[in-house]
Chains A and B, each alone.
Chain A
Amino acid sequence: MNGGKVTLRRTAGLYAGAAVLRLALFTLFPGLPDLLTGRVEISTPVTSFKRLQEGLFLYNHNVSPYDGGVYHQAPLLLPIFNLLPSFSAFPIFTYLLYIAIDILSAHALLRIAESGEAGSSARFTSPRRDKRWSGAIIAALFLFNPFTIATCIGRSTTVFTTCAILHAIANAISGRPFHAMVALAFASYLSMYPLLLLPPLILLCYDRQKLPATGAPNAWIKFTATMVMDVLGALAVLFQMSFFLTGSWEFLSSTYGVQLTLSDLAPNIGLWWYFFVEMFDSFRSFFLAVFWLHLSSYVGGLSVRLRQQPLVVITLLLGIFSIFKPYPSIADASLFLGMVPLYRHVFPLLRYSFVIAAIIIYTTFLGPAFYHLWIYAGSGNANFFYAITLVWGLGLSLLVCDLAFAVLRDEWEVERPEMAGKEIRQI
Chain B
Amino acid sequence: MRPSFPSSFLLSLLSLLCFSPYTAIANASSPADSISNSRSDYHEQLILRPLPLSTLLASFNFRSNTSLSAFEAHNFRFFPRSLGQILEHAGTRELHLRFSLGRWDAESWGARPWNGAREGGTGVEMWAWLEADTDEEADRKWLTLTNALSGLFCASLNFIDSTRTTRPVMSFQPEGNHIDANATNMHLLYGVLPHEVVCTENLTPFLKLLPCKGKAGIASLLDGHKLFDSSWQTMAIDIRPVCPEDGECVLQIEQSIDMVLDIDRSKRPRDNPIPRPPPAHEMKCNTSKPYHAHDTCFPTDSAANQDWSLSQIFGKPIKGTCPLTDPTVSPVCIQVPGSRVVFASEGAIEKKNPDQTSRCFDFPAENEFEIFLPAPEAQDGSVVIEHVVKPETPLLYAERSFTGHGQERGGVQTILRNPSPNQEVEFIYMESLPWFMRIYLHTISARVDGQPGKADSLIQEVYYRPAVDRARGTQLEVRMTVPPASTVFLTYDFEKSILRYTEYPPDANRGFDVAAAVITILNKDKSGGNGRNSRFAAYNLRTTTLLCNLPTPDFSMPYNVIIFTSTAIALAFGGMFNILVRRFVAANEGPESGLKKGVNKLKAKVAGILKKGKKESAPAVAAEVEEKKTE
Tell me the A residues contacting B by CB distance below 8 Å.
38, 40, 50, 53-54, 56-58, 61, 63, 67-70, 263-267, 271, 273-281, 291, 294, 297-298, 301-302, 305, 320, 323-324, 374-376, 381-383, 386, 390, 393-394, 397-398, 400-401, 404-405, 408-409, 412, 416, 419, 422-427
Contact = CB atoms under 8 A, between A and B. Distances in A.
A280 B558 contact: yes
B469 A375 contact: no
Closest 8 CB pairs of A and B: A68-B466, A57-B442, A397-B572, A423-B587, A426-B582, A278-B558, A401-B575, A376-B406
B561 A381 contact: no
Contacts of B405: 376
Given A271-B569, A374-B551, A394-B571, A281 B467 contact: no
Contacts of A376: 405-408
B472 to A, nearest CB: 8
Contacts of B578: 426
User: For A266, A278, A393, A416, which residue has the most chain B Cβ atoms within 10 angstroms?
Assistant: A278
A266 B498 contact: yes
Given A382-B554, A401-B579, A412 B571 contact: no
Nearest to A67: B466
Interface in B467-518: 467-470, 497-502
Q: Considering residues A323, A394, A401, A419, which has the most beta carbons from chain B within 10 angstroms of its beta carbon?
A: A401
B403 to A, nearest CB: 15
A427 B582 contact: yes
Given A68-B466, A68-B468, A280-B558, 4 more contacts: A69-B469, A276-B500, A401-B579, A425-B584
Contacts of A58: 441, 464, 466
Interface in B546-575: 551-554, 557-558, 561-562, 564-565, 568-569, 571-573, 575
A381 B469 CA distance: 24
B551 A69 contact: no
Nearest to B583: A427
Nearest to A425: B587
A426 B584 contact: yes
A280 B585 CA distance: 45
Contacts of B466: 58, 63, 67-70
A278 B553 contact: yes
Nearest to A275: B565
B586 interface: yes
21 contacts: A50-B440, A53-B440, A53-B442, A57-B441, A58-B464, A63-B464, A263-B470, A277-B498, A278-B554, A301-B577, A301-B580, A305-B580, A375-B551, A381-B553, A390-B568, A397-B571, A419-B586, A422-B586, A424-B587, A426-B585, A427-B590
Contacts of B79: none
Interface residues of B: mostly helix, strand, loop or mixed? Answer: mixed
A54 B441 contact: yes
A273 B554 contact: no
Contact of B498 (A38, A273, A390, A400): A273
A393 B567 CA distance: 11
A425 B585 contact: yes
Nearest to A50: B440
Contacts of A53: 440, 442
A393 B569 CA distance: 9
Nearest to B559: A278
Nearest to A305: B580
B274 interface: no
B464 to A, nearest CB: 6
A233 B241 CA distance: 61
A422 B587 contact: yes
A265 B438 contact: no
Nearest to A267: B498
Contact of A397 (B440, B469, B575, B587): B575
Interface residues of B, number: 56
Nearest to B504: A277
B619 interface: no
Given A375-B407, A427-B583, A274 B572 contact: no
A383 B593 CA distance: 39
A405 B586 contact: no
Contacts of B553: 274, 277-278, 381-382
B397 to A, nearest CB: 30
A375 B496 CA distance: 11
Contact of A279 (B464, B562, B582): B562
A385 B467 CA distance: 28
B409 interface: yes
B206 interface: no
Contacts of B581: 305
B501 A278 contact: yes
B369 interface: no
A400 B558 CA distance: 28
Given A278-B501, A390-B564, A424-B586, A324 B572 contact: yes
Which of B469, B571, B583 has the largest number of chain A CB atoms within 10 A?
Answer: B469
A422 B584 CA distance: 12
B565 A271 contact: yes
A355 to B, nearest CB: 13
Contact of A324 (B470, B564, B569): B569
A426 B579 contact: yes
A100 B435 CA distance: 37
B587 A279 contact: no
A191 B295 CA distance: 76
A390 B575 CA distance: 16
B591 interface: yes
A203 to B, nearest CB: 16
B599 to A, nearest CB: 14
B166 to A, nearest CB: 14
Given A265-B500, A275-B561, A412 B573 contact: no
B508 to A, nearest CB: 12
Given A67-B468, A68-B468, A266-B497, A381 B577 contact: no
B572 A400 contact: yes
B1 interface: no
A279 B584 contact: no
B562 A275 contact: yes
B605 to A, nearest CB: 24
A380 to B, nearest CB: 10
Nearest to B436: A69
B572 A69 contact: no
Contact of A400 (B438, B561, B576, B582): B576
Contacts of A267: 498, 551
B498 to A, nearest CB: 5
Contacts of B552: 381-382
Nearest to A400: B576
Interface in B218-255: none
Contacts of A274: 553, 561, 565
A394 B576 CA distance: 12
Contacts of B562: 275, 278-279
Nearest to A412: B584
B565 A390 contact: yes
Given A69-B438, A277-B499, A376-B405, A271 B568 contact: yes
A409 B585 CA distance: 10
A278 B583 contact: no
B498 A265 contact: yes
A375 B565 contact: no
Most buried by B among A271, A281, A297, A398: A271
Contacts of A394: 568, 571-572
Nearest to A38: B409
Contacts of A280: 502, 558
A376 B410 CA distance: 12
A280 to B, nearest CB: 7
A302 B442 contact: no
B440 A70 contact: yes
B471 to A, nearest CB: 9
A339 to B, nearest CB: 17
B550 to A, nearest CB: 11
Contacts of B442: 53-54, 56-57
Contact of B469 (A57, A263, A273, A324): A263
